[in-house]
Amino acid sequence: MPPEKRDSERKRLAHRTLELVRERGSEVALTALALEEGISRHRIEEIFEDEDDLTEAVAEVWLEPHIAIMEEVVASDLPPNRKMYEFYVRRFRINRERYRSDPGFFAVICELGAARFERVRSFVDLADHYLCQIIAEAQADGYFAGLEIDQALSLINQMVTNYTLPDALLHLDGRLSEEKLARIIDTIFAGLTAEDGGARGVNTLRLADS
């Protein structure tokens, strides 16, 4: 099969797989996809090497708008704090809209992603790669003093995890908001440094003198 046709069929069948997952509420295997499309197992294996390859194709389709957002934001001329906010909030809006439009389907996608996380890890790594670029720009402007890029990356990821993990919407939808995210980003830029602020300075607890 010519590469162009294979890529086209791969994307079409990935979209079809998502439709079937929505209809059935469960994972769709290659055999079931081939049966639904009326094509042979041999033909389906010309397009997808195995079940993991199908998972990657579906993830590519599902995360395509997220990747487009990250590339657009990183390439923009926004200042680093605005850039970081847009980097997170635009993807959060997509996840929130998807969740609210069909909570059951969204939950199934989250379950499948968690079960096959190793197959979608590259997308997480890509997000970290783009975030590192924003961090580097911020450091050039004097933010995150004393921190290595990897240190800042780890700390920031932990601070905004509820806005990046789709699963969080299943439990915290009503408590997550764009306004709160903006305050988190503002706080990160206002105070995230390598300086020891004293939080770990007390080794033991004692009652204050009365």
Taking 80 as the threshold, does the pLDDT of residue 13 lie above it? Answer: yes
Taking 60 as the threshold, does the pLDDT of residue 178 lie above it? Answer: yes
Task: Report yes or no on 197 lying in a domain.
Answer: no
Task: Report yes or no on 201 lying in a domain.
Answer: no
Length of the chain: 210
CB neighbours of 45 closer than 8 A, spacing ≥ 6? 30
Measured CA distances, 150 to 83, 146, 155 (Å): 18, 12, 9
pLDDT in the model for residue 42: 86
Structure tokens belonging to residue 173? 């939808």
pLDDT in the model for residue 165: 93
Give the whole-angstrom CA distance, residue 90 versus residue 87. Answer: 6
| Same-domain pairing of 41 and 71 | no
| Same-domain pairing of 98 and 174 | yes
| Same-domain pairing of 43 and 63 | no
| Same-domain pairing of 25 and 105 | no
Q: CA 100: distance to chain centroid?
A: 17
| Integer Rg of the chain from CA | 21
pLDDT in the model for residue 119: 79
| Same-domain pairing of 115 and 163 | yes
| Same-domain pairing of 76 and 168 | yes
| Same-domain pairing of 40 and 73 | no
pLDDT in the model for residue 4: 85
The whole domain housing 20 covers: 1-48
Structure tokens belonging to residue 177? 């908001």
| Same-domain pairing of 138 and 64 | yes
Q: What is the mean pLDDT of residues 157-181?
A: 96
Task: Report yes or no on 184 lying in a domain.
Answer: yes
pLDDT grade for 205, boundaries at 50, 70 and 90: low
Q: Are 51 and 72 in contact (CB under 8 A)?
A: no
CATH of the domain at 76: 1.10.357.10
Give the whole-angstrom CA distance, residue 69 versus residue 194. Answer: 30
pLDDT grade for 201, boundaries at 50, 70 and 90: confident
| Same-domain pairing of 1 and 84 | no
Task: Report yes or no on 155 lying in a domain.
Answer: yes
Count of structural domains, the chain: 2
Task: Report yes or no on 208 lying in a domain.
Answer: no
Pick 210 or 193 by higher pLDDT: 193
| Same-domain pairing of 141 and 166 | yes
Each residue's pLDDT tens digit, 31-66: 999 999 999 888 898 999 999 899 999 999 999 999
Task: Report yes or no on 40 lying in a domain.
Answer: yes
Q: What is the mean pLDDT of residues 155-161?
A: 97
Task: Report yes or no on 117 lying in a domain.
Answer: yes
pLDDT grade for 142, boundaries at 50, 70 and 90: very high
Lowest mean pLDDT of 8-12, 112-116, 127-131, 205-209, name the range.
Answer: 205-209
Q: Are 205 and 159 in contact (CB under 8 A)?
A: no
Taking 60 as the threshold, does the pLDDT of residue 210 lie above it? Answer: no
pTM, to two decimals:
0.90
| Same-domain pairing of 2 and 25 | yes
Q: Is 174 exposed, middle or buried (0-12, 13-18, 19+ CB in 10 A)?
A: exposed
Pick 183 or 122 by higher pLDDT: 183
User: What is the average pLDDT value for the chain, to the nearest integer?
Assistant: 93
| Same-domain pairing of 92 and 44 | no
Task: Report yes or no on 88 lying in a domain.
Answer: yes
pLDDT in the model for residue 70: 98
